[in-house]
């Protein structure tokens, strides 16, 4: 009997010793290029294009930037290093945790934040700058929401366009970039389509995104364009530059007799 108890004790002690053996820590999460996400696979934006995208948006420390699909956080972190408040929306919780660690390591945790969320269920209306690296189909799905943002909001996309919404600017980085090297930039246009009263006659504007066509009196306008709330168009050799202010357009005239101009919405 004693021999049996001693043998049992040895077995229990050995089992206890095995249970107390510390487990090897799990390897830190490392994203893999091409790993699937909710709507897109993950591909990192080259740092050179990150810098170019922020340059195109002419970001300042007064801006609030939101990155849609923020991945490892490099664009948000780069923006924070420039003094911006920047926020990333990312569906993959492992990527959110990685980006948060990266921001802390870069010393910008106070300005760079991340959240696990679906971009189609998120409110990003308070941003002055939107950045993204998605897909053409997703850009098109987002387009109505982006066009409803405050006029003047700046949007930059890595590699992919917005369909018929022509980019205001396109830029490609240097020869050392092998892929994902082009950025597209838009400024959300104010909506000015309709009929306006002017001393010179009736100004009728038709709008397709930021592009304007129409007539002043019986004369067709040309080179009509919106840039946020700023408007420009030509009538013959006379150029009208102005800005939307409530229900009126106000600005200056160059060419012709010069001076100021004003149009009131009918």
Give tens-digit pLDDT for 133-177: 999 999 999 999 999 999 999 999 999 999 999 999 999 998 788
More confident residue, 201 or 5: 201
Q: What is the pLDDT of residue 17?
A: 45
Q: Which residue has the tokens 């080259």?
A: 46
Residue range 167-194: average pLDDT? 95
Q: What is the pLDDT of residue 205?
A: 98
Given a contact cutoff of 8 angstroms between Cβ atoms, the answer to whether 245 and 238 are in contact is no
Given a contact cutoff of 8 angstroms between Cβ atoms, the answer to whether 83 and 107 are in contact is no
Q: What is the pLDDT of residue 255?
A: 83
pLDDT in tens, 30-56: 776 655 666 677 788 999 999 999 999
Report the predicted TM-score, pTM, of the whole model to 2 decimal places: 0.86
DSSP-assigned beta bridge partners for residue 115: 89
Instruction: With cut-offs at 50, 70 and 90, classify the pLDDT of residue 82.
Output: very high
Closest CA to 131 of 190, 49, 61: 49
The percent of residues above 90 in pLDDT, for the chain, comes to 79
CA distances from 91 to 37, 68, 219 (A): 7, 10, 52
Res. 3: pLDDT tops 60: no
DSSP helix/strand/coil, 254: strand
């Amino acid at each position: 009997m004693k021999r049996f108890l001693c043998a049992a004790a040895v077995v229990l002690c050995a089992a206890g010793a095995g249970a107390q053996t510390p487990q090897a820590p799990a390897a830190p999460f490392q994203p893999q290029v091409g790993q699937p996400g909710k709507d897109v696979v993950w591909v990192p934006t080259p740092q050179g294009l990150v810098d170019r995208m922020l340059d195109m948006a002419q970001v300042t420390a007064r801006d609030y930037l939101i990155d849609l699909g923020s991945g490892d956080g490099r664009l948000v972190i780069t923006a924070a290093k420039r003094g911006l408040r920047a926020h990333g929306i990312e569906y993959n919780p492992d990527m959110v945790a990685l980006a948060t660690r990266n921001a802390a390591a870069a010393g910008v945790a106070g300005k760079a934040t991340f959240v696990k969320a679906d971009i189609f269920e998120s409110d990003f209306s308070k941003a002055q700058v939107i950045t993204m690296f998605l897909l053409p189909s997703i850009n098109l799905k987002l387009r109505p929401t982006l066009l409803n943002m405050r006029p003047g909001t700046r949007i930059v996309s890595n590699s992919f366009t917005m369909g018929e919404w022509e980019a205001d600017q396109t830029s490609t980085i240097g020869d050392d970039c092998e892929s994902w090297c082009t950025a597209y930039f838009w400024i959300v246009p104010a909506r000015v389509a309709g009929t306006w009263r002017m001393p010179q006659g009736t100004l009728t504007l038709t709008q397709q995104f930021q592009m304007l066509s129409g007539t002043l009196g019986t004369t067709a306008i040309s080179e009509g364009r919106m840039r946020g709330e700023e408007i420009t168009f030509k009538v013959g050799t006379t150029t009208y530059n102005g800005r939307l202010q409530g229900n009126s357009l106000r600005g200056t005239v160059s060419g012709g007799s010069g001076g100021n101009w004003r149009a009131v919405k009918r």
